[in-house]
């Protein structure tokens, strides 16, 4: 997978290193600013409120 990607990046070794870093940065930014905030709000682990049995807040 990564080998396949590496072989397809253009402009020799410098180009491959640059291209890899750009791809990694893109994926990390996408996760950090889009995916993780969306996932975070679905996680109940940090709930701070006390909630009644009906689901309404007491």
Partner 1 sequence: MTVVAPARRGTSVPPPSRVFATLRMVGELAVTAGLVLLLFAAYEFWGRPAQVDARQHELDRQLDRAWAAPPTGVATPSASAAPTVPFKELGTRLWLPKLKKHWVVAEGVAPADIRWAPGHYPASALPGQVGNFAVAGHRTRALFWDLDKLGAGDLVGVQTRDTWYVYQVRTVEIVSPSATEVVAPVPGDPEATPTRKMLTLTTCNPRYHNNQRLIVHAELTSEQPRSSGAPAGIGA
Tell me the C-alpha distance between 35 and 46, whole Å. 18
Burial 29-51 (b: 16+ CB within 10 A, else e): eeeeeeeeeeeeeeeeeeeeeee
Q: Do 9 and 16 contact (CB within 8 A), yes or no?
A: yes
| Closer residue to partner 1 in complex, CB, 1/13 | 1
Should residue 12 be labelled a site residue for partner 1 when binding is judged by CB under 8 A?
no
Interface pick for partner 1 out of 28, 29, 30, 34 (rule CB under 8 A): 28
Min separation Cβ 16 and partner 1, Å: 17
Interacting residue ranges for partner 1, rule: CB under 8 A: 1-3, 28, 31-32, 36-37, 39-41, 44-53, 57-58
């Amino acid at each position: 997978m990564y080998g396949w990607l590496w072989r397809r990046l253009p402009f020799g070794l410098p180009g491959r290193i640059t291209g890899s870093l750009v791809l990694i940065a893109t994926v990390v930014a996408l996760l950090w600013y889009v995916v993780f905030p969306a996932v975070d709000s679905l996680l109940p682990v940090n709930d701070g409120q006390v909630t009644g049995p009906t689901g309404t807040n007491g």
